[in-house]
Amino acid sequence: MVREPGSAGRPKASSRGTIEEAAAELFLEQSYSGTTIEEITQRAGVSRATFFNYFESKSDLLWIDADRAIERLSECLASGMRVGDAIARAASEVGAERVPLAVSQAEVMGTREELVASGFARVARVTALIRSALANEWVEERDSLAVNVRANALAGAVIAAWGAWIRGGVDRLTLLEYTHDALALVQLEQ
Amino acid sequence: MVREPGSAGRPKASSRGTIEEAAAELFLEQSYSGTTIEEITQRAGVSRATFFNYFESKSDLLWIDADRAIERLSECLASGMRVGDAIARAASEVGAERVPLAVSQAEVMGTREELVASGFARVARVTALIRSALANEWVEERDSLAVNVRANALAGAVIAAWGAWIRGGVDRLTLLEYTHDALALVQLEQ
DNA sequence: AAGATTATTGGACTGAGTACAAAAATAGAT
DNA sequence: ATCTATTTTTGTACTCAGTCCAATAATCTT
């Protein structure tokens, strides 16, 4: 009856990585908004429907690296790490070997409302994670103005560090270094 | 030859206000995502095309009040006011007489994700305004990490105050009071 | 060979947003 | 009154993201 989950069924055609690569190429060639999902899946040799098996939306493609870091942050916080440590840990695990896709599209992102909105989903998630953890650390209601303001400031610092790292160009520091500086500016350690 | 700008041409059918009212009604009846632009314009007695003469997107309807406040903030900053004063001024001019549309939708909307997402354009605009003004006040490059972190923290405080005001319910304080408390928490005056 | 399970696919659909040209309504000038 | 310039409104056709679903394909277990 009960089988081990991964064993049965048609195997994946390794589509996810293929789609990511095709998208990265096309975004560089034609820009994000100039590329349709149809084009991406055609180059990846996959049907349009398959795209939505792997991604919830087109804009997810721009936030793959950010989403991984956020996922790490969530895990660290869930395991009981203090907020500052969790942020540092998650930041330290974002390698410099790969240029985030959002970087190359940075100029497009400024203008396009859709991208800005999709970015906010990430900001909102980071903020919510931090807010929740802060409310635990201090014993305070989650919706108090103080917790919200503090969470927004911390999240803002994280975002600013991410942005500085993105804009840093080839001689950029590590994300951890930017993050450290940014947190110091909002006096994380009280 | 040259005429005064407002005089000639077909007069407006007072559509903007009508559309806003129709949308407010429908959002309360059926929720934001359960209402199409077509339905809104039908109730307003206007064509769908006309909608886009007045609004850039459907989600604009949720942020009418916020957009007015942001516009005020922009004017105050442009006239040379210091950042803290400009924020306070803009906040003080948001009257309590009218419940913002986004408020009534916060609980009505099944998932607030959409609200959150469309809100980012506003957060981004507030942040950009503050960043620009800060870079002028301090004589520093606009993209420095310090300016960005500070701008994000201030914008975060403004947003938190707006959120607290929204959630305040019938016995809420004024937006200015929430804003004052939030700014104190990020030590606006250094 | 026969299910059970999972991945892929095609196709039809909804709805937001864009583009644009035609029509309608006004004011002023001839 | 007629014409002209100007502005708003409208119809229409279009693109594309995202949803839904049923059919098919590829694999494993029995």
What CATH number has the domain bearing residue B35?
1.10.10.60
B167 chain-A contacts, CB cut-off 8 A: 143
How many residue pairs bridge chain A and chain B with CB atoms within 8 Å of each other? 98
Instruction: Output the pLDDT for position B98.
Output: 60
Segment B8-30 shows an average pLDDT of: 90
In angstroms, the Cα distances linking B149 to A89, A184, B50, B133, B164 are: 20, 10, 41, 14, 22
Q: In Å, what is the separation between the CA of A42 and the C1' of D30?
A: 39
Give per-residue burial for B118-131: e unless 16+ CB within 10 Å, then b: bbbbbbbbbbebbb
A33 and A72 share a domain? no
Q: Give nucleotides in strand C with any atom < 7 A to a protein C-beta.
A: 4-11, 14-20, 23-28
Looking at B58-62, B140-144, B155-159, which range is the least confident one?
B140-144
- Is residue B147, in this structure, part of any structural domain at all? yes
Residues A65 and A142 in one domain: yes
The pLDDT score that the predictor gives to residue B112 is 46
Taking contacts as CB-CB distances below 8 angstroms, the residues of chain B near A181 are: 145
Cα A180 from Cα B183, distance rounded (Å) = 23
Dihedral Cα A132, A125, B109, B61, nearest 10 deg: 130
* B1 pLDDT more than 80: no
**pLDDT class of B70 with cuts at 50, 70, 90:** very high
B145 and B102 both lie in a single domain: yes
By mean pLDDT, which of A76-80, A99-103, B94-98, B116-120 is the weakest?
A99-103
Say yes or no: B20 and B109 in one domain.
no
The confidence score (pLDDT) of residue B189 equals 45
Residue A9 located in a structural domain: no
- Chain A residue numbers touching B153 (CB-CB < 8 A): 152-153, 156-157, 186
The count of domains in chain B is: 2
A156 and B159 in contact by Cβ < 8 A?
A: no
- Yes or no, beta carbons of A145 and B161 under 8 Å apart: yes
* Cβ contact, residue pair A167, B143, below 8 Å: yes
Q: Which of B159, B151, B124 is nearest to B135 (CA)?
A: B151
Is residue A83 within 8 Å of residue A77, measured between CB atoms? Answer: yes
Residue nearest to nucleotide C8 (CA to C1'): A50
- Residue A2 within any structural domain of the chain: no
> Predicted confidence band at B4 (pLDDT cuts at 50, 70, 90)?
low
Going by C-alpha positions, the residue among B38, B157, B143 that lies closest to residue B91 is: B157
Domain co-membership, A51 together with A144: no
Any domain includes A6: no
Percent of chain B with pLDDT over 70: 82
pTM to 2 decimal places: 0.80
Q: Say if residue B43 is in the same domain as residue B135.
A: no
Give the pLDDT score at B110. 42
For the ranges A109-113, B123-127, B154-158, the one whose mean pLDDT is highest: B154-158
Question: Domain limits at B41?
Answer: 15-55
Instruction: Give the CATH number for residue B176.
Output: 1.10.357.10
Domain-located, residue A3: no
> Going by C-beta distance under 8 Å and a sequence separation of 6 or more, which residues neighbour residue B154?
B83, B87, B130, B134, B183, B186, B188
Name the nucleotide nearest B7; use CA and C1': C27
First and final C-alpha spacing in chain A: 55
Do A20 and A114 fall within a single domain?
no
**In a shared domain, residues B49 and B76:** no
The answer as to whether B3 is a domain residue is no
Query: Is B79 in the same domain as B162?
Result: yes
Instruction: Strand C: list protein residues with Cβ under 7 Å.
Output: A 1, 3, 5, 8-13, 15, 45-50, 53-54; B 3, 7-11, 35-38, 49, 52, 56-59
Amino acid letter, A92 = S
pLDDT band for position B138 (cuts 50, 70, 90):
confident
Q: Residue B2 falls within a domain, yes or no?
A: no
The Cα B81–Cα B86 span in angstroms is 6
- Closest-CA distance, B3 to chain A, in angstroms, reads 35
pLDDT in the model for residue B106: 56
User: In chain B, pLDDT over 90 holds for what percent of residues?
Assistant: 45
Q: Is the pLDDT of residue A45 over 60?
A: yes
Tell me the C-alpha distance between A78 and A63, whole Å.
22
The answer, yes or no, to whether residue B87 has pLDDT greater than 90, is yes
In terms of domains, do B102 and B169 share one?
Answer: yes
Average pLDDT over residues A150-166: 87
Find the residue in A nearest to B60 (Cα).
Answer: A113
Residue A8 forms part of a structural domain: no
| Nucleotide lying nearest to B35, CA to C1' measure | C15
User: Do A90 and A22 fall into the same domain?
Assistant: no
Residues B86 and B35 in one domain: no
User: Is A109 in contact with A115 (CB distance < 8 Å)?
Assistant: yes
